[in-house]
Amino acid sequence: MPISSTLKAAAFASIAAMGSFALMTGTPAFADHHAKAAEANQPNIVETAMGTGVHATLVAAVKAADLVETLSAPGPYTVFAPTDDAFAALPAGTVDTLLKPENKDQLTSILTYHVVAERVPAAALTQAIRGAGGSYEFTTVAGETLSARFDGHTIVVTDGAGRETKVVQADVDTANGVIHVTDGVFLPG
């Protein structure tokens, strides 16, 4: 099964298993149906990441994992997008090792750990954090759990190994979802 089909199947299985993010938080669905016409003129997630000037490593990783087609599809998706500096902060050689063809499965697993199979704007995530008493857990397309909380007014996401990453820019709208720029890379525990 191609990676894009695998990712889509994982996304749908994840949603079916956990219910949608909107249902879990008790909030209305996130997709704004009136915004669809405006979104049609926007670039998709991959095109947007290519144009930021701070996501070259992420784009290279998405290409190496053969996820361009999937993350360019209608979605919607939410991507927590690490900056180039975030990837550079990983131990020396990590990115180069992950980009090797023989590590494609591991790279795909890490990248899909940054994707939620739904549009989750910061306002909805904020509401979910508050509704959960200050810390909200959610499942990514990779089937892994992340938790979100506040540090002052900043959303902080904690991965499976307990590493904390800040959302440094929220709500970069795209035609097929939303990007939240992060200062760290999520790695499974």
Task: Give the pLDDT confidence of 89-114 residue by residue, as tens digits.
Answer: 999 999 999 999 999 999 999 999 99
Measured CA distances, 134 to 50, 59, 67 (Å): 34, 32, 33
**pLDDT tens sequence across 35-54:** 444 455 799 999 999 999 99
Residue with tokens 């929220």: 170
189: pLDDT confidence band, cut at 50, 70 and 90? Answer: confident
Q: How far apart are the first and last CA of the chain?
A: 27
> 164 pLDDT exceeds 50?
yes
Poorest-pLDDT segment among 16-20, 50-54, 63-67, 141-145? 16-20
Domain range 3-182, CATH architecture = Roll (2.30)
> 62 pLDDT exceeds 50?
yes
Q: Percent of the chain scored above 90 by pLDDT?
A: 75
Residues 59 and 45: beta-carbon distance below 8 Å = no
Q: pTM of the entire structure? A: 0.80
Average pLDDT over residues 166-180: 97
Residues 98 and 61: beta-carbon distance below 8 Å = yes
**pLDDT number for residue 111:** 96
Alpha helices in 19-140 (DSSP H): 21-25, 36-39, 45-51, 56-64, 68-72, 84-88, 94-98, 104-112, 122-131
Ramachandran angles phi, psi of 121, nearest 5°:
-70, 160
**Higher-pLDDT residue of 145, 4:** 145
**pLDDT tens sequence across 130-153:** 999 999 999 999 999 999 999 999
Average pLDDT over residues 9-21: 35
| Residue type at 80 in one-letter notation | F
